Chains A and B, each alone.
Chain A
Amino acid sequence: MSLAKAEVRRLFKRRVTRIFLAITLIGLAIFPVAFVFNSKPSTPEVRAAAEAEATRNFDQSVVQFQAMVAECEAAKARGETGLDDRYGPNCGADFGPQREWYTAEQFMPYEFNFRDEFPPSLAVLAAILAMVAFVIGASFVGAEWNSGGMMNLLLWRPRRIPVLLTKLGVLIGAMFGLTVVVGALWTAAFWAIGRYDGNLGKLTAGVWQSFALSGARGAALVLLAATLGFCLASIGRHTAMALGVGIGAIVISEIGLRILFELVRVQFGDRWILSTYLVAWFDKSLKITNWRACELATGPCTPPEYIVTWQQSSVLLGAALVLAVFGAVWSIRRRDVI
């Protein structure tokens, strides 16, 4: 217990942790603030103003249309030719603006809808927290290895695997706590925006349950990222190892493979891309459409689809997790500390 307590203190005393947390919290705060400034609730006054704006726009269009028709007829009277090409038959008099084209909705200010727009915001939150957790996790153990702190610790607690797993446990616990707290603040902030500056939408128990499940999937991604960062840095005994692998995976998977698949015209190439599985995990499934299969010039076509499910994602991500943890444990058990 004393080791866990010391590691919690160490984690939050570290500059990387503090700076990243501060930047993350400030960065995340920008999102709800931006929504507060942009969202306006749909009050009767706002709707009436939008209605009036729609009518004004319609009236302006009618005036402009009538002037155009009059100009066309005057030109016709002067004997000009080719007017049908410019104005249409009968000087376009049959195609005047219709009132129903100008709805109040077109002139309503943006209104945040909590029910519809909160789930995508959870994905953004999870992605940001996962990146931060990866870096903090990598640095937490990588800097310790690199600075000799790990060796010092092992001189005090010469049980390598329990020491490593205690550090990992502390990291996971801290990142889980962070995710829960930030997630709760995030939810409260967007709920308040929906409630006071927008629209909550129809919030049933099922909707809240869906939010909770999305949040849980997001939290799992954050913890996975923290664990992967920690384990990779521990295997390489340096923070740079984890960051290198992370950046390498992004470059190879998201850029290199995409370009390669495009060049060799691989069918459903996205199913070999890492981010596909992350999105599928978060959204429960992801549909990949093979547009190349259709020759749209020859007529309608229904392109074949490939569904990546969250179950497939969980197998892939779970395998990565097991490999990383096993690798880190094996490495600390077998390799000399020199």
Chain B
Amino acid sequence: MPAVLEISGLEKTYRSRRRGARKALDGFDMVVESGEVHGFLGPNGSGKTTTLRTLLGLITPNGGTMTLLGQRVPAALPHVARRVGAIVESPQFFPNFSARDTLSLLADAGGVNKQRVTEVLEQVGLRDRAKERVGTYSLGMKQRLAVASALLKQPDLLILDEPANGLDPGGIREMRTLMRGLAASGMTVVLSSHILGEVQLICDSVTIISRGRRVAYGPVADVLAQHAGAGVTVKLESADDLSAAAEVLIAAGARVTPEADRLVVSNVEKPAWVTRTLAEKGYFVSELAPVKVDLESVFLELTQTAPVAGQARQVDDSAVAAPAQGGWGV
């Protein structure tokens, strides 16, 4: 499949007289293939929105290359913008216009048939509230309007930054169905979200960013598999033997995390090795199961943003893919 979106070595440094320089993107790479739903994940302040804004010509990068639909941007952005629908960060609209007016003005500006306005309002469920002022909308309704504005041009590539933000559970499910439907119709969707369960359900592939660098990418299943760590959970016939069994496994080279009634064992090539090693020492396994990982645990592991009891994590306390360079105060 050809790449619809390619980013290579993207760099962006924000400079401020008072706060000095801050590297928001530090050689970031990303590839999105045609027709897939691609999750774009990262902790707060990791550079997701900066990436999307840079891609869409709102921010000027300091280095790197980007292509959208096969054309170099930002130079070719005026030519490809018609084929890219996007919402960036929180939905922002003029509060005194109605949803219909808002979309109608965008349609006028972009030379889109007015009929599309009615269609997208129907599609996002705002048909009956279309004449109300956007200022009176809830966050979820504004989010729907934002998605409607992105869909207005019938784009080939849809970029949505936190589209489920503020949506009720029904709305989240509708959004999931919408994304799937759009992808099925051939549209490529890039979805930035913190609702990792949703991303795991919706997305074909993901890119995880942390402190301006890509820390993982690929099909969701591959990313999960790569970070499952071949770990297993082990239960013994007698729970009293857990600590002794742990010592045996550690001595044999495994990594062991004791839990109340089991051991979580990693750094082992095959589960059978665990059974054999313990049996040789007279400990008999009653249950052996692979450790299940989900996107959330992979995300927390890769970005090192899992909460730690008694510590208040700061937004920039996340992992970097390579030895730290830049960051605050560069």
Contact = CB atoms under 8 A, between A and B. Distances in A.
A147 B86 contact: no
Contacts of A3: 108-109
A148 B60 CA distance: 18
Interface stretch (A122-130, A150-158, A254-262): A150-158
Interface stretch (B2-10, B94-102, B251-259, B278-286): B94-102
17 contacts: A2-B108, A6-B108, A9-B105, A144-B94, A148-B92, A152-B106, A152-B149, A155-B58, A156-B109, A157-B81, A158-B56, A158-B57, A158-B74, A158-B77, A334-B60, A336-B59, A337-B58
Contacts, number: 77
B110 A156 contact: yes
Nearest to A162: B78
B198 to A, nearest CB: 24
Interface of B: 53, 56-60, 74, 77-78, 81, 86, 88, 91-97, 101, 104-106, 108-111, 149, 153
A156 B110 CA distance: 6
Contacts of B60: 334, 336
A154 B92 contact: no
Nearest to B96: A15
B22 to A, nearest CB: 13
Nearest to B90: A148
Contacts of B153: 156
A336 B96 CA distance: 26
Contact of A159 (B56, B78, B101): B78
B58 A2 contact: no
A9 B59 CA distance: 28
A337 B59 contact: yes
A151 B92 CA distance: 9
Given A2-B110, A10-B105, A155-B88, A149 B56 contact: no
A156 to B, nearest CB: 4
Contact of B88 (A15, A149, A151, A158): A151
Given A337-B59, A338-B59, A153 B109 contact: yes
Interface residues of A, number: 28
Interface string A1-23: 01101110110011100000000
A147 B94 contact: yes
A336 B50 CA distance: 10
A143 interface: yes
B109 A155 contact: no
A228 to B, nearest CB: 23
Contacts of A151: 58, 88, 92
A154 B58 contact: yes
B96 A14 contact: yes
Contacts of B109: 2-3, 6-7, 153, 156-157
Nearest to A156: B110
A164 to B, nearest CB: 13
Ranked 4 nearest A-B pairs via Cβ: A148-B92, A6-B108, A337-B58, A6-B109
B108 A149 contact: no
A154 to B, nearest CB: 6
Given A156-B106, A157-B81, A158-B77, A149 B92 contact: yes
Interface in A104-149: 143-144, 147-149
A154 B55 CA distance: 12
Contacts of A157: 78, 81, 109-110
B96 A155 contact: no
B78 A143 contact: no
Contacts of B58: 151, 154-155, 336-338
Nearest to A150: B92
Contacts of A147: 92-95
A153 to B, nearest CB: 6
B236 to A, nearest CB: 56
A333 B198 CA distance: 38
Interface centre among B58, B95, B101 (most CB of A within 10 A): B58
B287 to A, nearest CB: 53
Nearest to A3: B109
A14 B81 CA distance: 26
A32 B223 CA distance: 77
A338 B53 contact: yes
A138 to B, nearest CB: 15
A152 B92 contact: yes
Given A336-B60, A338-B58, A338-B59, A6 B105 contact: yes
A143 B134 CA distance: 14
Nearest to B84: A155
Contacts of A334: 60
Contact of A336 (B53, B77, B81, B97): B53
B96 to A, nearest CB: 5
A153 B107 CA distance: 10
Contacts of A143: 94
B97 A13 contact: yes
Nearest to B98: A13
B111 A2 contact: yes
A156 B81 contact: yes
A5 B88 CA distance: 25
Nearest to B152: A156
Given A147-B93, A158-B56, A158-B74, 13 more contacts: A6-B105, A6-B106, A9-B108, A143-B94, A147-B92, A153-B109, A155-B56, A155-B86, A155-B88, A158-B77, A159-B78, A336-B58, A336-B60
Contacts of B106: 6, 152-153, 156
A61 B93 CA distance: 75
Interface string A296-321: 00000000000000000000000000
Contacts of B78: 157-159
Interface centre among A6, A158, A337 (most CB of B within 10 A): A158
